[in-house]
């Protein structure tokens, strides 16, 4: 992973303007290439999280979306930690659930 090496070597020394230029360029080109306005990008992230939250319980504080270039093809890399599975939907067919419970609260 270039990111790993960069943080290991590049940044441990003082940051040079050349490496700043490279980082800025990577960021600029990413957004040039995906050509999606920021609010759409945010909406997409929110929707992705919403879908994932249907299945697992997401730890919001640890969520990280990163855009990356892979040979001119932009990619979204998401790191979405979850604490525990979401309560399974009311299982009609399985073992009787905890007595009185309705699926709510």
Beta carbons of 35 and 26 less than 8 angstroms apart: no
Return the residues of window 29-68 that contact another protein according to CB under 8 A. Answer: 29, 32-33
Supply the DSSP string of 65-104, one letter for each residue: EEEEEETTEEEEEEE--EEEEPPPP--SSSS--STT--S-
Give the residue among 58, 94, 95, 98 at the shortest CA–CA distance from 79.
58
| Of 1, 18, 84, 93, the one binding another protein by CB under 8 A | 18
Among 7, 11, 25, 91, indicate the residue that binds another protein (CB under 8 A): 25
Among 26, 50, 68, 83, binds another protein (CB under 8 A): 26
Contact footprint for another protein (CB under 8 A): 2, 5-6, 9-10, 16-19, 21-22, 24-26, 28-29, 32-33, 69, 71-72
């Amino acid at each position: 992973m270039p990111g790993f090496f960069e943080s290991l070597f590049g940044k441990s020394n003082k940051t040079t303007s050349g490496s700043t230029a490279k980082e800025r360029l990577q960021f600029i080109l990413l957004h040039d290439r995906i050509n999606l306005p920021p609010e759409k990008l945010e909406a997409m992230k929110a929707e992705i999280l919403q879908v994932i939250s249907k299945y697992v319980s997401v730890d919001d504080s640890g969520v990280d979306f990163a855009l990356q270039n892979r040979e001119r093809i932009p990619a979204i890399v998401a790191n979405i930690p979850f604490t525990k599975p979401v309560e399974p939907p009311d299982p009609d067919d399985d073992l009787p659930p905890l007595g009185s419970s309705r699926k709510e609260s």
